[in-house]
Chain A
Amino acid sequence: MSILSFFQWLQSTDFMTFIRESGLTYPIIMSTHLTCIAIFGGMIVITDLRLLGVALQDRPIADVVNGLRWWKRLGFVIMFSMGFMLLGSKAPEYYPNPYFWTKMSFLALVFIHAMIFRPRVYNHPEKLDASPVIPTRAKAAATLSLVLWTGVVCAGRLIGYYEPPQQKGHVVSVGASK
Chain B
Amino acid sequence: MMRVLTLSRVVWLEMIRRKDLYVLLILLVTLLFVLLSLNIFGLGGVVRYVADVGLLFAWLFAIILGVSTAGRQLPQEEAKRTIYPLLAKPVTRADVVLGKWLGSWTITVSCTALFYLLVVGVVLLRGGGIQPVTLAQGFVLHAVAMGIVTALTVAISTRMTYGAAASVAYILIAGAFSIASRVPELLVHEEGFVARGLLALYYGLPHLELFDLRQRIVHEWGAIPCRTLLFVAMYGVVWVLFLLLLAWMGYRRKRFKRGALG
Q: Do A and B come from one complex?
A: no
On A, residues with C-beta under 8 Å from B are: none
On B, residues with C-beta under 8 Å from A are: none
